[in-house]
Amino acid sequence: MDDTRRLEKLLYELWSGDWQPAAARAGEVMREEMIRLGVWQTAVPADRAAVLWSVATGRMISEERTPYPDRTKERLSRLAGLVQHVSRMCERAPYLSQRTVDLRQAEEIYQRLLALPEGWRQEAVRRVVMGGEDVTHVVADAQIARNRVRSYGIDPNEAGDVSAAGVAS
């Protein structure tokens, strides 16, 4: 088992009363430890991106003087959750966590969304962003709708691939 004491100490500091200094350096500590323990290159790109993103997030929440303490608490909780995840990754790589499973599912949904023709993809994204619908359900519904339209004798590709500005591609 690799030495993850630095990450464990960081996690303790994040939950202590004086969490700002730990939050400010959390992303950099996670990155340094992942590199030191040989986990950085084997981690999935989304995990590496999350660690790099946490460099900015940690510094921002440590400097925040916000009238929204719940938002800071939520961001701090996510940061601590990422530190826990990274610590487990460093202890027993390869580590299949719920986060890794979630990332795989997200990648699958993303690929299914990309497989939709442009018009169908734009409508799917509009339903998620503007209508608050769940992306998993919207992508599945779009695929089912395309198949049903086809079974009714209508070509689902009649929607065409036209940009949002109305220019045919």
Q: What is the pLDDT of residue 157?
A: 87
The predicted pLDDT at position 110 comes to: 95
Q: Give residue 143's pLDDT band: very low, low, confident or very high (50, 70, 90).
A: very high
- What is the tens place of the pLDDT at every residue in 28-46? 999 999 999 888 988 888 8
Cβ(90)–Cβ(34) under 8 Å? yes
Task: Give pLDDT, residue 64.
Answer: 76
pLDDT at position 3, please?
Answer: 76
Q: 166 falls in which pLDDT band (50, 70, 90)?
A: low
Tokens describing residue 153: 């004798």
Q: How confident is the model at residue 111 (pLDDT cuts 50, 70, 90)?
A: very high
pTM score over 0.95: no
Please give the structure tokens belonging to residue 43.
């981690």
Across 116-152, b (16+ Cβ under 10 Å) vs e yields beebbbbebbebbeeeeeebeebbeebbeebeeeeee
How would you classify residue 166: left for phi > 0, otherwise alpha for psi between -120 and 50, otherwise beta? left
77, pLDDT greater than 80: yes
pLDDT of residue 130: 94
pLDDT interval class at 169 (50, 70, 90): very low
Instruction: Give the pLDDT score at 161.
Output: 66
- 140 pLDDT higher than 80: yes
